[in-house]
A and B are shown apart, each in its own frame.
Chain A
Amino acid sequence: MFGLDAKDTRLVLIVAVLTMLAPFILNPFPEGSELAQFNAGYPDLMQRFVIFGIFAIGFNILFGLTGYLSFGHAAFLGVGSYAAIWMMKLLTMNVVPAIFMAIVIAGIFSLFVGWISLRRTGIYFSILTLAFAQMSFALAYSVLTPLTGGETGLQPKMADPRILDGSLAEGTTPRANLFGLQMSSSYELSVGGWLFTFNAGYYLAAVVMLIAFYISIRIFRSPFGMMLRAIKCNQQRLNYTGLNSKPYTLAAFVISGMYAGLAGGLMVAMDTQVGPERMFWTASGEVVLMTILGGAGTLIGPVLGAGMIKYMENIISKINSTILHEWFYWMPDGLEDFVVAMIYPFIGKGWHLTLGIMFMLVVIFLPGGLVEGGQRIARLFGKGKKAETDEGGTKPSSTPAE
């Protein structure tokens, strides 16, 4: 189907079903229960899952396939965001031109950065991209304040021109929409104690992510993708065969920059605000973490990594000591305090610590990331099944190994 083999089709379908049913899957606990703390099925976080999924998928096209480690991808995300917000301020609050321009501008910017940075490989390439990203951040933070709003950032204002939109109705504020459908609108379904929220913005982002995911599979499977892998294997040898590898790496760099721009544009479409921190080097580092945590060079890995990190950032960081005491109230007093004191460094603002430990464990024991973990489990079950039924079918590995 769609020019994919059976295994890839199955993967796309699984991802499609998971994203479409995410409001159910992410809200497994009833409202008001103690465990509702762990529910992630609210619009903001679901949007973040898919948007950072797109960002990581794009990053993986560069890092996973060619092995070039860019430490400046957040710059493209930021540039895309600024392009999108300016489209909203000047043209229309409809998200289509905003997202389109985000991709275009990020593509042009990545062409420029890539053209310079790709003259070097390895650590020098990483440092160059990092330098470009930090330059962009510094420019956006202060020097380009008239264009970027500086530290305060940009938001749609009542007084913006918006030349394609009619004048605002009295008492309303400009809101991002898709041909009239507001990104913030949602349908709430309450079943028993559960409350499921179906958000228009989330579904737009999810559909875009599916398209982005599909394109990434096609790239992975194409001769172009094969060439990128060849670059990762041994670029020198490739050069000696008389082949100029630079256009290929540059193309991969620009494609992944455009993915980042798309993610940036979507972020603005979902939440109409841009600040320069989006370009800070920690944001660039985060996407590297996402990709490695999930499994670099695999198809689904980056999406899993992105989901994992965003979940920790938004859920673990909100657990405070009061909540811990509520959980362990049934313990004897001294023991309760002890247990809370033991867990406290790992929650709330300590979520970075938890993430760091997880990252170390994954890198040491599962070098292939979460995907490798999934494969090991699948193999375990697969073996058991084989022994039982003696079918000897295909290995149920969901993702191709790099």
Chain B
Amino acid sequence: MSKSDISRRGVLRTGAAVGAGLATPTIFTSQVWGGGHTGFTNAPQGDTVTLGFNVPQSGAYADEGADELRAYELAVEHLNGGGDGGMLNTFSSKTIDGTGILGKKVEYVTGDTQTKSDAARASARSMIEKDGAIMITGGSSSGVAVAVQALCQEAGVIFMAGLTHSNDTTGKDKKANGFRHFFNSYMSGAALAPVLAKAYGTDRKAYHLTADYNWGYTTQEAVQTSTEALGWETVNNVLTPLTQTDFSSYIAPVLQSGADVLVLNHYGGNMVNSLTNAVQFGLRDKMVNDKNFEIIVPLYSRLMAKGAGANVKGIFGSTNWHWSLAQGFTTPDGTEVAPDAGSAAFVKSFGEKYGFPPSQAAHTCYCQTLLYADAVNRAGSFNPCAVGEALKDFEFDGLGNGPTLYRGDDHQCFKDVLVVRGKENPTSEFDLLEVVEVTPVSQVTYDASIFGGDLGTCNPGA
């Protein structure tokens, strides 16, 4: 046995020296988020890069969350060179070459937002702090989008919003690190009003039922303003609790009010229930003011249409994207719309992988992932400020919505808006909506300053 001379003091001294040595290379960072030391939060270190997909996996929007996750998985597959490449082939920017992002393989972590701001932020924080995610994306409600966007701003990572339709996300709550591809309430109103005026005339009296929360308020306001500009009159606006499942007590007074149009500013399960109630009450068979009574749903989704079943037939609404763009179609006034190559590519690869066409939530999430990857490639860096600069006023095409602009003033995408109507003779459970009109982008563009808010400056974190 070799002779060793270990004294208590010696051990202490060695321990202190080792401790100091180990501690030296780590610098005191003023922000916790710093994983790497290249000047921004979670700078990718190895040959992989981690994205955070934060979607509702439980709660009211779990179906949409599941579809978003499918789209993300598909996008990652395409970024890493798998599958048939989907919309990479039609995307106007050609920087994505199937080797991941900036040559780093794309990995991802998932989380459950539960459609609650607190849970969504906890999940996003764990992705940033624990898993080293460089970008957070997803979500299916504006409350969550606003909450997570603010967190990402503070943490110094990019947030690519999923499905969020309220004006606030890129309006009064906009942030320099947050970007939205989806359209918003204002655009829905601006796109719908002319179509409604054409179909139903300009002397209508509208009665609004509005979900009692932020998205409901902004949507109601948008629809009211744009329809009143064309001559409609708003008889009443009644707020309904978000948890309401039986709307009969709200629908009974509609007929006494003298209104001849009912606008349902509801989303998800709310809309399914209120529309079903309204149709059961026979509103659509009534004649008021010598006009046929009509119902309008400002924001449609395929999943909602599925829930409401036959009740959606003939009811107008707007949507960000619809898979039937892939086949081309004829609008009711006889205009032929050619198939869209981007949509076709996306519907094909999504359909081959999962066996059914994607929803608009899936589409926007897929686009957001591609747009982020492309922006990083063009910027040559994962630094959020460089990425933000690359996305700013970026014009692109081939992602299913035609020529699109990512406006630098509020980080909102501007593109054509689809006005849709419940199909009279659906051929399958996915074929429930038909596109009535593609409202050109010029008609839905607004001044970035009208909603207030301050973008601030980009925050790269550590």
Please tell me if the beta carbons of A277 and B118 are within 8 angstroms of each other in the complex: yes
Please tell me if the beta carbons of A275 and B32 are within 8 angstroms of each other in the complex: no
Please tell me if the beta carbons of B456 and A173 are within 8 angstroms of each other in the complex: yes
Q: CB within 8 A of B112: which of A151, A152, A348?
A: A348
Q: Does B409 contact A (CB under 8 A)?
A: no
B:92-148 near A, CB below 8 Å: 109-112, 116-119, 121-123, 125-126, 129-130, 141-143, 146-147
Decide: A39 near B153, CB < 8 A? Known: A151-B213, A190-B26.
Answer: no
Please tell me if the beta carbons of B122 and A142 are within 8 angstroms of each other in the complex: no
Decide: A349 near B112, CB < 8 A? Known: A152-B173, A158-B454, A199-B32.
Answer: yes
Q: Does A391 contact B (CB under 8 A)?
A: no
Please tell me if the beta carbons of A273 and B456 are within 8 angstroms of each other in the complex: no
Q: How far is the CA of A348 from the CA of B239 in the complex (A)?
A: 36
Q: Say whether chain A's binding surface is mostly helix, strand, loop, or mixed.
A: mixed
Q: How far is the CA of A175 from the CA of B23 in the complex (A)?
A: 27
Q: CB within 8 A of B147: which of A188, A275, A313?
A: A275
Q: Which residue of A lies closest to B111 (CB)?
A: A318
Please tell me if the beta carbons of B126 and A157 are within 8 angstroms of each other in the complex: no
Interface segment among A1-9, A43-51, A65-73, A113-121: the answer is: A43-51
Q: CB within 8 A of A185: which of B31, B116, B153?
A: B31
Q: Does A245 contact B (CB under 8 A)?
A: no
> Chain A contacts of B57 at CB under 8 A?
348-349
Q: CB within 8 A of A142: which of B62, B119, B121, B242?
A: B242
Please tell me if the beta carbons of B143 and A152 are within 8 angstroms of each other in the complex: yes
Q: How far is the CA of A136 from the CA of B143 in the complex (A)?
A: 18
* A131-174 near B? 1/0 per residue, CB < 8 Å: 00000001001100100001111010111000000000011010
* A248-276 near B? 1/0 per residue, CB < 8 Å: 00000000000000000000000111010
Give A331 Cβ to nearest chain B Cβ, in Å.
23
Q: How far is the CA of A200 from the CA of B240 in the complex (A)?
A: 44
Give B67 Cβ to nearest chain A Cβ, in Å.
15
Q: Does B29 contact A (CB under 8 A)?
A: yes
Q: CB within 8 A of A277: which of B116, B126, B239?
A: B116
Q: How far is the CA of A191 from the CA of B15 in the complex (A)?
A: 13
Q: Does A317 contact B (CB under 8 A)?
A: yes
> Chain A contacts of B142 at CB under 8 A?
151-152
Please tell me if the beta carbons of A42 and B130 are within 8 angstroms of each other in the complex: yes
Give B82 Cβ to nearest chain A Cβ, in Å.
14
Q: Which residue of B lies closest to A191 (CB)?
A: B22
Give A259 Cβ to nearest chain B Cβ, in Å.
19
Please tell me if the beta carbons of A153 and B117 are within 8 angstroms of each other in the complex: yes
A:60-106 near B, CB below 8 Å: none
Q: Which residue of B lies closest to A188 (CB)?
A: B26
Q: CB within 8 A of A158: which of B25, B151, B456?
A: B456
Q: How far is the CA of A29 from the CA of B34 in the complex (A)?
A: 20
Q: Tally chain B residues at the interface, Cβ within 8 Å.
A: 53
Q: How far is the CA of A45 from the CA of B119 in the complex (A)?
A: 12
Decide: A155 near B150, CB < 8 A? Known: A150-B214, A184-B31, A271-B121.
Answer: yes
> Chain A contacts of B147 at CB under 8 A?
152-153, 155, 273, 275
Decide: A273 near B121, CB < 8 A? Known: A141-B212, A152-B142, A175-B154.
Answer: yes
Q: How far is the CA of A225 from the CA of B153 in the complex (A)?
A: 46
Please tell me if the beta carbons of B239 and A275 are within 8 angstroms of each other in the complex: no
Q: Which residue of A lies closest to B141 (CB)?
A: A151
Please tell me if the beta carbons of A275 and B117 are within 8 angstroms of each other in the complex: yes
* B5-36 near A? 1/0 per residue, CB < 8 Å: 00000000000000000110110111111100
Decide: A138 near B121, CB < 8 A? Known: A151-B213, A191-B22, A271-B151.
Answer: no
> Chain A contacts of B242 at CB under 8 A?
141-142, 151
* A21-48 near B? 1/0 per residue, CB < 8 Å: 0000000000000000001001111001
Please tell me if the beta carbons of A173 and B239 are within 8 angstroms of each other in the complex: no
Q: How far is the CA of A278 from the CA of B26 in the complex (A)?
A: 37
Decide: A189 near B130, CB < 8 A? Known: A153-B147, A155-B150.
Answer: no
Q: Does A398 contact B (CB under 8 A)?
A: no
Decide: A314 near B126, CB < 8 A? Known: A151-B213, A273-B150.
Answer: yes
Give A97 Cβ to nearest chain B Cβ, in Å.
21
Please tell me if the beta carbons of B125 and A44 are within 8 angstroms of each other in the complex: yes
> Chain B contacts of A48 at CB under 8 A?
122
Give B156 Cβ to nearest chain A Cβ, in Å.
10
Please tell me if the beta carbons of A275 and B118 are within 8 angstroms of each other in the complex: yes
B:201-229 near A, CB below 8 Å: 212-215, 217
Q: How far is the CA of A275 from the CA of B120 in the complex (A)?
A: 11
Please tell me if the beta carbons of A152 and B214 are within 8 angstroms of each other in the complex: yes
> Chain A contacts of B62 at CB under 8 A?
349
Q: Does A110 contact B (CB under 8 A)?
A: no
Please tell me if the beta carbons of A142 and B241 are within 8 angstroms of each other in the complex: yes
Q: CB within 8 A of A275: which of B22, B30, B116, B215?
A: B116
Q: How far is the CA of A275 from the CA of B151 in the complex (A)?
A: 13
Q: Does B457 contact A (CB under 8 A)?
A: yes
Q: Does A365 contact B (CB under 8 A)?
A: no
Q: Does B245 contact A (CB under 8 A)?
A: no
Q: CB within 8 A of A349: which of B23, B58, B129, B173?
A: B58
Please tell me if the beta carbons of B126 and A45 are within 8 angstroms of each other in the complex: yes
* A303-315 near B? 1/0 per residue, CB < 8 Å: 0000000000110
Q: Does B90 contact A (CB under 8 A)?
A: no
Q: How far is the CA of A185 from the CA of B129 in the complex (A)?
A: 12
Q: Which residue of B lies closest to A137 (CB)?
A: B243
> Chain B contacts of A153 at CB under 8 A?
117, 143, 146-147
Please tell me if the beta carbons of B32 and A184 are within 8 angstroms of each other in the complex: yes
Q: Does B260 contact A (CB under 8 A)?
A: no
Q: Does B459 contact A (CB under 8 A)?
A: yes
Give A156 Cβ to nearest chain B Cβ, in Å.
9
Residue among B22, B26, B239 with the highest chain A CB neighbour number at 10 A: B26
Decide: A42 near B58, CB < 8 A? Known: A151-B143, A153-B117.
Answer: no
Please tell me if the beta carbons of B454 and A157 are within 8 angstroms of each other in the complex: yes
> Chain A contacts of B153 at CB under 8 A?
173
Give B50 Cβ to nearest chain A Cβ, in Å.
12
* A342-374 near B? 1/0 per residue, CB < 8 Å: 000000110010000000000000000000000
Q: How far is the CA of A318 from the CA of B146 in the complex (A)?
A: 22
> Chain B contacts of A317 at CB under 8 A?
111-112, 123
A:270-318 near B, CB below 8 Å: 271-273, 275, 277-278, 280, 313-314, 317-318
Q: Which residue of B lies closest to A39 (CB)?
A: B130
> Chain B contacts of A39 at CB under 8 A?
130
Q: How far is the CA of A105 from the CA of B126 in the complex (A)?
A: 30
Q: How far is the CA of A313 from the CA of B113 in the complex (A)?
A: 11
A-B contact pairs, 5 of them (CB 8 A): A44-B129, A182-B30, A182-B31, A273-B117, A317-B111
7 tightest Cβ-Cβ pairs between the two chains A and B: A275-B117, A44-B125, A142-B212, A151-B213, A186-B32, A277-B116, A42-B129
Taking A44-B125, A153-B146, A349-B62 as given, write out 14 further A-B residue pairs in contact, using a Cβ cutoff of 8 Å, ordered by the A residue number. A43-B32, A45-B130, A152-B142, A152-B168, A170-B457, A182-B30, A184-B32, A184-B154, A186-B29, A186-B32, A187-B28, A271-B121, A272-B154, A278-B118
